[in-house]
Amino acid sequence: MEMHQLRYFAAVARTGNFSRAARECRVAQPSLSQQILKLEDEVGERLFERTQRQALLTPAGSLFLPHALSILEAAERGRQEIREMGGQVRGKILLGALPTIAPYFLPDIIRSFRTKYPGVELIIMRRPRNNSFVV
């Protein structure tokens, strides 16, 4: 049971159609079909009733769907929470740097750091224990 298999499964359940699901998942339709078959093989039951018109959830499929959705949701929320946490890191960092070479590599580093941790106050020092200034 792999993540992408669950994505494909959910898409087929939602659209009721392998081809449409494949388009939504941006994958070739036979590839999606293979992965659905593989998932069905692993759980030991057919998940869809394939008719010409549409792919309908079997009883096993209906039973499995909420679990698949909760997995996909948990994954998304996990990602989201960590992403949001980026902005919640707070504090101060005192950073010593040699004025002669700092301009060559510090700007890029500082820019990416401040994007990732806007809550952190960066303090760059020309030399230790003296003349600090906030960037």
Partner DNA sequence: TAATATTACGTATTACGTAAAGATT
Partner DNA sequence: AATCTTTACGTAATACGTAATATTA
Member of 56, 74, 94, 109 binding a copy of itself (CB under 8 A): 74
Q: Does 67 bind a copy of itself (CB under 8 A)?
A: yes
Q: Does 87 bind a copy of itself (CB under 8 A)?
A: no
Contact 26, 32 (CB under 8 A): no
**What's the closest the beta carbon of residue 92 comes to DNA, in angstroms?**
23
**What's the closest the beta carbon of residue 99 comes to a copy of itself, in angstroms?**
31
DSSP letters for 37-106:
HHHHHHHTS--EEE-SS-EEEPHHHHHHHHHHHHHHHHHHHHHHHHHHHGGG--EEEEEE--TTTHHHHH
Alpha carbon 20 to chain centroid distance? 23
Q: Does 3 bind a copy of itself (CB under 8 A)?
A: yes
Tokens matching residue 123? 């303090």
Binding mask 18-57 for a copy of itself (x = CB under 8 A): -------------------------xxx------------
Using a 10 angstrom Cβ sphere, with 0-12 exposed, 13-18 middle and 19 or more buried, the burial of residue 132 is middle
Contact 60, 46 (CB under 8 A): yes
Partner that binds at residue 112, options a copy of itself, DNA, none, CB closer than 5 to 8 Å by kind: none
State the residues that interact with a copy of itself by CB under 8 A: 1-3, 43-45, 59-60, 63-64, 67-68, 70-71, 74-75, 77-79, 81-83, 85-86, 89, 116
